[in-house]
């Protein structure tokens, strides 16, 4: 009888291996669905974050910025509000480098 149990354990671990590979496959499609990438009326790349908050990649005076901002409606158009920040490409890259540390600080809070 112990031999059957061993075989059963092997088959369970094999099935769990195949189950984990099944779980990993849908993940990329979920990321694609949650992207929310759009191009706005100015041709800037735009991602909806929540409510009236957006992240956009835009140019201003010939320089590229990552703009994270709250918008408001006026005359039927979306307009950028004062609440937000525009990061240069170098600042954006620095934020990305710091993300693991920021995530760790969030966990500790």
The answer on pLDDT for 33 being more than 70 is no
Rounded to an integer, what distance in angstroms lies between the CA atom of residue 71 and that of residue 54?
A: 8
58-73 pLDDT per residue, tens: 999 999 999 999 999 9
Q: What is the pTM of this model?
A: 0.62
Where does the chain show beta strands of DSSP type E? 37-39, 45-50, 53-60, 63-74, 77-88
Locate 66 and state its tokens: 């990552």
**Residue positions counted in the chain:** 109
Contacts of 59 (CB under 8 A, 6+ apart): 44, 65
Which pLDDT score, from 0 to 100, does residue 61 have?
95
Q: Where are the domains of the chain?
A: 1-35, 37-109
Residue 40: the pLDDT is: 84
Tell me the CATH class for 37-109.
Answer: mainly beta
């Amino acid at each position: 009888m112990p031999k059957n149990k061993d075989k059963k354990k092997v088959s369970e671990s094999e099935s769990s291996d195949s189950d984990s590979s099944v779980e990993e496959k849908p993940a990329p499609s979920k990321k694609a669905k949650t992207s929310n990438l759009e191009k706005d009326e100015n041709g800037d790349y735009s991602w909806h974050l929540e409510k009236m908050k957006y992240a956009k990649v835009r140019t201003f005076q010939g320089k590229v910025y990552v703009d994270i901002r709250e918008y408001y409606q006026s005359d039927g158009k979306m307009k950028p509000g004062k609440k937000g920040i525009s990061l240069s490409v170098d600042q954006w890259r620095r934020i990305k480098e710091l993300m693991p540390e920021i995530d760790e600080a969030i966990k500790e809070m």
